[in-house]
Amino acid sequence: MSVRADNNVYLGTPDPGPFSNLYVNGEIYAHLVKVTNSVAWWDGVFKKDYHLMPLDKLEKFVNKNHHLPGMPTESQVNENGLDLAKMNALLLKKTEELTLYVIELKKENERIMKLFNEKKGN
C-alpha cells in the first residue's frame, strides 16, 4: 500500500489513471457498498406520459446496434469503465420497461385467448 503526495491511496501495482483517489489492483470484498450519486432514478417509466419504445422498433435497434437503447456499448465500457450508480439506474429503467412490456403482452394474450374461446364456442 502506498499513499502518494496527491493523497491518493494505491493497493497493489499502481496504475490508476488520472481519475482515482483509491486504486486497488485486485478483488475487493465487502459486506456493504453504498454508492451515492445524484443520478436520476427511473420511476418515471411508470408515469402516463412515458414513451415505451414499440417492440418492433426495439428489435430493429437491437439487431442493428447489438445493445439496448440508452445502455453503454461494450467498447464504451472497456474504454471508460463503468459508473455503478448510473448503471444501476439504467438497469432499473430497463427492468421497469420489461415489466411494462410483459403487462402489455399479457393483456394481448388475454384478448387473443378470449377471441379464440369465443370462436371455439360458436
H/E stretch holding 114 reads helix 84-121
pLDDT by residue, tens only, the chain of 122 residues: 666 667 666 666 666 565 666 777 778 888 898 887 767 787 789 999 999 999 999 999 999 999 999 999 999 999 988 888 889 989 999 999 999 999 999 999 999 999 999 988 76
Tell me how far CA of residue 120 lies from CA of 89, 109, 110, 116, in angstroms: 46, 16, 15, 6
Tell me how far CA of residue 95 lies from CA of 19, 68, 100, in angstroms: 30, 12, 9
Tell me the C-alpha distance between 41 and 107, whole Å: 27
| Strand ranges inside the chain, DSSP E | 2-3, 9-11, 22-24
pTM metric for this prediction: 0.74
